[in-house]
Amino acid sequence: GLAQAWLDWSGPGPLIAPPAGPWFNRNVAAQALLLLVPLAVSAALGREMRRPGRWLPLACGGVGVMLLVATRSRGGGVAALVGWGLALGLVMLGRLRRAAPWTGLRAWFGPAALLGACGVVAALVPVAGVQPLPGVGRVVGMTLEPVSGGTMEIRRALWANTGAMIAEHPWSGVGAGRWNVVYPLYQRRVRPTPGFGLDKQPRHAHNEVLEFAAELGLPGVALLLSLLAVALGRLVGSAWRGDGGAGLRLAGLGAVAVHGLVSFPLHSPGTAALFWLVAGTALRPGEDRQPRRRRGGRFAAVALAVLLLVLAVLGGWLVRGDLGARRHLARAVSAAETGRCAEALREADEVWKASCHRDHRGRAAAVVWACEKDPAASLAFLEPALAAFPHRLELLLDTGARWIKAGRLDRAEGAYRHALELEPDLGRAWLGLAMTLERQGRLQSARNACQRAWSIEPSPPVRAFCGGLGAWE
């Protein structure tokens, strides 16, 4: 990540928004580092860690702080200040209540100085690249500006429309992981989502409480928040008693929770898994408390070990398939972009076999649409993808075009009309509807659709088709 930030290193694969290191983009990297840095410092200060070995986790924490600053993530910076600051402040207040408040704090001075120095260095070094990120001073200024316009305006629309989604599905929600599938139906319900269209469809609500409430329903999110509240409450109690390790775990969880108010850390698999693992450690019995031995303890331990083994095998199989699908998908996209359609179709077929992920199959279907000209062969991919994402605009348009070629005009008309329900100012949808109506013999309706397409997007395809139809007469 630092090589991407300072040396403009592209890395082994395409980057969405560097510097990101191994993560999807720089904001996802920031939300993971909010938890990883406190855990690294906690490992360094643990009683079982010998003095020479403490420098390795401290070095990891220092590099994490440098990358966090280099990401220039406003949400990550605010979450670090609030989450880390409140948790460590609680530890300090708890120690001040003790008879010898400064006992044991000497071990904290070196790590604190090291992390602070790393942050200062990262703030002074500019971020390189074709589109260099602003300096830390500008980022702070942007953070303190009134929250209006830009990404904040998009978030307000996402939150308002997600509220409408919750109001219609308060008890059962729309289903785990289905917010981005259903959101196109709500993208204009309360406030129009700025920039929504073919090239930009949101994947998350950028507020974890609202997104979980929409997916799981109000009872589900209440149970989830109750579990988290119990874990955080135990860590708060331990931190108040001066437990530095608990304070650092609380700092990481608190920072991620704060970031979750404007982002999606608990919908990012790596961050979410580590978050709930750390939260689970707070729910275990205290180390000073000796649990009573119960009958059947050995059987329970064996059953748990077998369950974990089964989950590990299943997880390994899923991860293997996911990684393979990503490789095949990257090759398919690259081959399609360079005109090697035979290779692209083979790789897209491998994606379909290797992955059950809706997004992977949707992108593979887009490759098939670009390369496969036989309607029946392309619809074998497009129709299942559309069933998984029935409200995705590009899939509606692509599948509608293939239905026209296959002569299934009723289904093509339904696809285009549904796309126009989601986005009324979509020129391609009006043109596709005009083509469908023309083949059905409804010429006047086709001319009206042509005129609407021309008023939105006066492109050469619209001129060529609609001119022959006599739409301008």
Instruction: Label each residue of 238-256 as H, E or C.
Output: HHHCCCHHHHHHHHHHHHH
The DSSP call for residue 175 is -
Q: Tell me which of 57 and 128 has the higher pLDDT.
A: 57
- Mean pLDDT, rounded, for 120-146: 66
pLDDT at position 290 over 60 = no
Would you kindly state where each structural domain of the chain is located, as residue ranges?
2-145+207-281, 307-389, 407-473
Whether the Cβ atoms of residue 285 and residue 291 lie closer than 8 Å to each other = yes
Question: Over the stretch 180-227, which tens digit does the pLDDT of each residue have?
Answer: 999 999 999 999 999 888 778 899 999 999 999 999 999 999 999 999
Please give the structure tokens belonging to residue 395: 């899939």
Residue 289 has what pLDDT?
Answer: 47
> What's the mean pLDDT when you consider all of the chain?
83
Q: What is the pLDDT of residues 35-83, one digit of tens each?
A: 999 999 888 876 555 566 677 888 889 999 999 998 888 889 899 999 9
3-state DSSP assignment of residue 200: strand
Q: Which residue has the higher pLDDT, 184 or 241?
A: 184
Q: φ, ψ for residue 322 (rounded to 5)?
A: -65, -45
Least confident of 102-111, 261-270, 407-416, 417-426: 102-111
| Secondary structure (3-state) at 197 | strand
Q: Which CATH architecture has domain 407-473?
A: Alpha Horseshoe (1.25)
pLDDT of residue 125: 81
Taking 80 as the threshold, does the pLDDT of residue 11 lie above it? no
Mean pLDDT of 297-307: 79
Q: What is the DSSP string of 34-74?
A: HHHHHHHHHHHH-TTS-TGGGHHHHHHHHHHHHHHHHTT-H
Q: Is pLDDT of 288 > 50?
A: no
Q: What is the pLDDT of residue 275?
A: 94
| Cα–Cα distance for residue pair 88/246, rounded to 1 Å | 10
Is 162's pLDDT higher than 60?
A: yes
- Lookup: tokens for 301: 């331990």
DSSP letters of 336-383?
A: HHTT-HHHHHHHHHHHHHH---HHHHHHHHHHHHHH---HHHHHHHHH
pLDDT beyond 90 at 141: no
Return the number of other C-beta atoms located less than 10 Å from residue 242's C-beta. Answer: 21
Q: What is the pLDDT of residue 432?
A: 93
Q: What is the arithmetic mean of pLDDT over 316-324?
A: 80
19-40, pLDDT tens digit by residue? 777 787 888 899 999 999 999 9
The answer to whether 170 and 221 have CB atoms below 8 angstroms apart is: no
Angle at 147 between CA 143 and CA 149, to 5 degrees: 110
Higher pLDDT, 50 or 84: 84
The predicted pLDDT at position 144 comes to 53
At residue 49, the pLDDT reads 53
Does residue 8 register a pLDDT over 60? yes
Are 211 and 163 in contact by the 8 Å Cβ rule? The answer is no
pLDDT bucket at 107, cuts 50 / 70 / 90: low
366-405 residue pLDDT tens: 888 888 888 888 898 889 888 888 998 988 999 999 999 9
Cβ proximity of 389 and 395 under 8 Å: yes
Q: What is the pTM of this model?
A: 0.84
Q: Higher confidence at residue 293 or residue 79?
A: 79
